[in-house]
Amino acid sequence: MKVVIIGSGYVGLVAGACFAELGHHIVCVDNDARRVLALRNGVIPIYEPGLKEMVKANVAVGRLSFTEDLESALNGARAAFIAVGTPPRPTDGHADMKSVYAVARAIAEKASGDLVVVDKSTVPVGTGDEVEHILKSANRPFRFAVVSNPEFLREGAAIDDFLRPDRVVIGAEDGWASEIVSQIYNVESFKCASMLHTSRRSAELLKYAANAFLAMKITFINEIADLCEAAGGDIRDVADGIGLDSRIGRKFLNAGPGYGGSCFPKDTLAISKIARDYRVELRTVETVIQVNQSRKRAMALRVLDACNGSVQNKTIAILGLAFKADTDDMRDAPSIPLVQALQDFGAHIRAYDPEAMDNARKIFSNVTFCGGVIEAAAGADAVVVMTEWNEFRHINLNTLYSRMASSVFVDLRNLFSENAVVAAGFDYWCIGRKNAVAQTLRDPLAVQRRTAAI
């Protein structure tokens, strides 16, 4: 089937490459001429494992192409997916729908026949109604229908998530449109656990609700990690025990510096704004947003504690800048407030990330970007692990220790074995596990003993 994908960013490019891999004829449309030219030449604007190779292979066999010409792309197509950005509006936090509606108007003008228009972008409830109104108001002699088909892609695992998803959600008000989208996914090589047919508005809400729930799960385990540190527990054991409950599950129970990226921050904010428009208060979601923002900057205070209360004129090596491993995405990355706070406290920052440094250079100033872990740590007073890159798991800790000016090792992802780090000579600070200094300061019994002694 010929399918058009409008928007060649993260979602659009992954969807286009994967649909082509499934055997469809895919035309990706983008209004950025430089991006289109780069994609035609095999230059991928984002880092996603396996994506470059998949794009190259499908372009080579003629199943995937890129163009700025929407009209020619729509000729003969049976479905057009809208996959453009919906970032928060700076004025009020609501999702900015300008691009989605502009694409809808362009489709209405350029379509050459009956067409199913599919919202792949994450959009507020009721967006499909407005897109349908735009299409039908153009008074073209064609049949238009709008479907909501939200994506559930994890950055760093997007291809596997697309080709072997937990579920595919098809939100439609028209049986013909629902059947077209079902046919796009219903190919022999596609491995889907469940195909869920819903109303269009249910599908729109489902996406936001799923991301809000996962964000709450992350924020919950981070707060339990703080309790573990204070009370002498080990967050790894607690998370494993919680995760064995089939009602909960182990995923998204890894304590860390807070969530970031392109989805959770904007989607939790958007669903809270949508709820208020409907006079509903999502207090749990609003609290999650506040706690997560506070946690990110609070990570800098952990580094200060590890450095005896001051980083003034000290050199801090930051390992990992992307919001998670296997991506170059710096959107709302926890590294941003950490670095800025440490700089506010007078630190000099040296940083390394396997993929995100080009994007990081657009954000940070007065940061020394390095070509590897050892280079970043050279002469540093402390090293801080911010992103769980697999490359970092294989650091030679003895070599790292020998190149540093001091012995402070702050692991904000619990990536390392405490025994291994301490054996190399480091003072090890982590998340949600007993630290002798931190626990002594916070333990109620220890406080009582100190008070009695005074």
| Residues acting as catalytic residues | 263
Residues 59, 61: Cα–Cα separation, whole Å:
6
Residues 84, 212: Cα–Cα separation, whole Å:
21
What sign does the dihedral 157-159-164-168 (CA atoms) show? Answer: positive
The answer to whether the beta carbons of residues 333 and 260 sit under 8 Å apart is: yes
Strand-pairing partners, residue 318, are 351, 384
The answer to whether the beta carbons of residues 36 and 217 sit under 8 Å apart is: no
Residues with Cβ within 8 Å of residue 39, at least 6 apart in sequence: 8, 13, 28, 30, 45, 55, 66
Instruction: Please name which of 26, 110, 127 lies closest in space to residue 69, comparing C-alpha atoms.
Output: 110
Which DSSP letter does residue 88 get?
Answer: B
Question: How many CB atoms sit inside 10 A of residue 13's CB?
Answer: 27
Residues 367, 360: Cα–Cα separation, whole Å:
10
Residues 21, 437: Cα–Cα separation, whole Å:
54
Residues 132, 82: Cα–Cα separation, whole Å:
13
HEC states along 327-349? CCCCCCCCHHHHHHHHHHCCCEE
The pairing of strands 367-369 and 348-352 is parallel
Q: Specify the amino acid at residue 236.
A: R
Residues 68, 32: Cα–Cα separation, whole Å:
7
In the block, residue with structure tokens 């001091």: 406
Residues 146, 136: Cα–Cα separation, whole Å:
11
In the block, residue with structure tokens 């936001």: 208
Q: Specify the amino acid at residue 198.
A: T
Instruction: Please name which of 290, 376, 387 lies closest in space to residue 338, comparing C-alpha atoms.
Output: 387
